[in-house]
Chains A and B, each alone.
Chain A
Amino acid sequence: MAEIKLMKGNEVIAEAAIRCGCDGYFGYPITPQSEIMETLMAREPWKETGMVVLQAESEIAAINMVYGAAATGKKAMTSSSSPGISLKQEGLTYLAGAELPCLIVDVVRGGPGLGTIQPAQSDYFQATRGGGHGDYHLLVLAPASVQEMNDFVALGFELAFKYRNPVMILADGVIGQMMEKVRLDEYVPRWSDADIERVAGEWALTGKRKERERHVATSLELDAYKQEEFNHKLQAKYRRMEEHDTRHEELSCDDAEYIFVAYGSSARVCQKSVQLCREQGIKAGLFRPITLYPFPKRPLQALSRRAKGFLAVEMSAGQMIEDVRLAINGTVPAEHFGRYGGVIPTPDEIVEALKRQIIKT
C-alpha cells in the first residue's frame, strides 16, 4: 500500500529524490528551502540507497558538482532559492550547452537582491527565459501542491534524460513551507552501470573503451558554423518539448466567461477566487500552466475563442502575463494582477481585481 504522510513541500522533495533513485544532491542552505538538505542529511540516504548528499562550499560549487555528476550519466540535483539560483546561472547555461540532464529546485522568495524570505514568483523570467547567457531554455515545472512537489521529482528526472536538458522545479515559499497529505512513491533502485549504458550510453562519460569514440562533455565550439548547427539542434529539441511535454490544468473552464491564469501557490489562491466568483454569479475558471517552459499556449489560445477576458495572477509585477498575451494575441483582454515582495494575494482581492480590470462593473 502506498505510504501516506503529512509533509512539507521541501521535505517531500528530499524524500522523493531518495525514492526515485537520485544519485547525488549538492546544495548550499538558504531560506525558504533549507529543509530539503536538512531532511536529506537526517535521512542519511548514503546508508540506504548509496545516494550522495553533500553540502558544498557555495551555490556555485554545488551546481558545478551537479555538472560533474550529470556528465557521467548519474541522476544529480541541486536546490536553492532566488539569490542562490542567480549564483547558479553560469553553471546552468553550461549544463544546457553541454546537454546534460539534471534537476534544479528553486523555492522562490521575494527580490530583488537578498530581498525577503517570504514567498514570491518574481523569478519567472529568470526560469523560463534561460537565466544565463545564450539561446537556451530549461524545462520548467511549477508544482501547486505538496503532492506535485513529490511527483515532479521523478518526472523532472525523466524529462531531463528524455531531452538531455536541465529541468527546473519552480516552487515558492508557500509550497515549500506548507504541509499537506502526500502519497509517497515506491522505491526505485539507483541505476546500475548497465542502466546508465542503456539510458545514456551515447554521451555519458563512463570511461573510454576501445570500441567507441571518446565522449566529451563541453559547451565550447569555436567554429561558428558548427555552433550554429548545434543551436539549431537545441531549438529543434525545444520544439519537441513543446509538442510532447507541455502540461496544464483547467478548473471550471468549461462554461467560464472569465479565466484566471495562475501557477504554483497563486493558482491555489485563485481556486478559492473561482469559488467566490461562482457564489456571486460570475462564471470564472482557472487555467493553470504546469510547465512554464514550454508554456501551454495552444490550450490557452483555444480558451480565448470563447472567454471574455483573462486575468493573470502572479506574485510578481507582471512576468507570466507576457506569455499569456503572446498566446491570446490581442483577441480578448488580458490583464495582470500581482502582489509581490513577499506578499501573497488574498482570494477576495483577486475577485475585486477581476471585477475592476476585466469585467469593469
Chain B
Amino acid sequence: MTEEIIIAGFGGQGVLSMGKILAYSGIMQDQEVAWMPSYGPEMRGGTANVTVILSDERISSPVLTRYDTAIILNQQSMDKFEEAVKAGGTLIYDPNGITREPARDDINTFKIEAARLAAESGNPKIFNMIVLGAFLKVKPIVILDNVEKGLEKSLPARHHHLIPVNVEAIRVGMTRVEKA
C-alpha cells in the first residue's frame, strides 16, 4: 500500500499540522512516512500545502505531481490540484470557500462542511481535524487508535488535554463526509 496525498489550503487552516498528525499515525502503524511542505517566503493567509506519503515500502519522491488523494480547502488549491488527482483517485473538499465545484468524473469526489461545522461547534480550531476525519472515513489507511497515538506524539504534553476534543472532531468528520 502506498498513499500519496496532497493537503492544500490557506496558511492558518492547520494544513501542515493535519499532515503531521496523519504522518505520525502512519508511524504508529509501522508504515514509512514522508511529510514535505511547500516552503518559501509564505505567510498567514497565503496558500499552504503539504505532501504526505504513507507506504509499506521505502518511499520514493517526496515531491509529486500526481496524487492518490487531494484534500482541497480553498479555490486556489482547487484550481491547482484538481487535475493532479490520478484517474480513479479521490478528491475531498470543503465547499466553503470554493466558488467552482470540482468537475472531473473520473475520480471519486467527497465534500465535508468542515468550516461550517467547526464554526457551529464554537471551536474553529477543530476545522482541520474534521477534515482529517472525512479523509479517514473515505480512506481508512490508519485506524483511529493509531491517530490518537499520533496526536499524543505530535502534540506537546501541555496540549494533551485537547486530544479528546480532537478525536471527537475526527469522529464528526467521519460521520458528516458525503459523496459529492
At the interface, yes or no: A268 with Cβ under 8 Å from chain B? yes
Contact at B40–A179, with CB atoms within 8 Å? no
Contact at A272–B36, with CB atoms within 8 Å? no
Comparing A170-178, A240-248, A292-300, A301-309, the segment that makes contact with chain B is: A170-178
CA distance A346 to B27 in the complex (A): 26
Task: Name the distance in Å between B104's Cβ and chain A's nearest Cβ.
Answer: 19
Contact at A347–B35, with CB atoms within 8 Å? no
CA distance A346 to B66 in the complex (A): 10
Contact at B37–A177, with CB atoms within 8 Å? yes
At the interface, yes or no: A38 with Cβ under 8 Å from chain B? no
Contact at A32–B39, with CB atoms within 8 Å? yes
At the interface, yes or no: A65 with Cβ under 8 Å from chain B? no
At the interface, yes or no: A53 with Cβ under 8 Å from chain B? no
Query: What 0/1 pattern do residues 120 to 146 of B give for CB contact below 8 A with A?
Result: 000000000000000000000000000
Q: Which residues of A contact B61 (CB under 8 A)?
A: 268-273, 347
At the interface, yes or no: B167 with Cβ under 8 Å from chain A? no
Residues of B within 8 A of A (CB): 20, 23-24, 26-27, 32-37, 39-41, 59-66, 153-154
Partner of A6, one of B27, B41, B59, B66: B27
At the interface, yes or no: A62 with Cβ under 8 Å from chain B? no
In the complex, how many residue pairs between chain A and chain B have their CB atoms under 8 Å apart?
Answer: 72
Q: Which residues of B contact A271 (CB under 8 A)?
A: 60-61
Partner of B32, one of A174, A177, A179, A181: A181
Q: Known: A181-B27, A269-B63, A346-B63. Is A6-B40 also a contact (CB below 8 A)?
A: no
Contact at A179–B23, with CB atoms within 8 Å? yes
Q: Which residues of A contact B37 (CB under 8 A)?
A: 177
CA distance A179 to B150 in the complex (A): 14
Apart from A174-B63, A271-B60, 20 more pairs, CB < 8 Å:
A6-B20, A6-B23, A6-B27, A6-B33, A117-B39, A117-B40, A118-B40, A177-B37, A178-B35, A178-B62, A179-B33, A180-B35, A180-B62, A268-B61, A268-B63, A269-B60, A269-B61, A344-B63, A346-B65, A348-B65
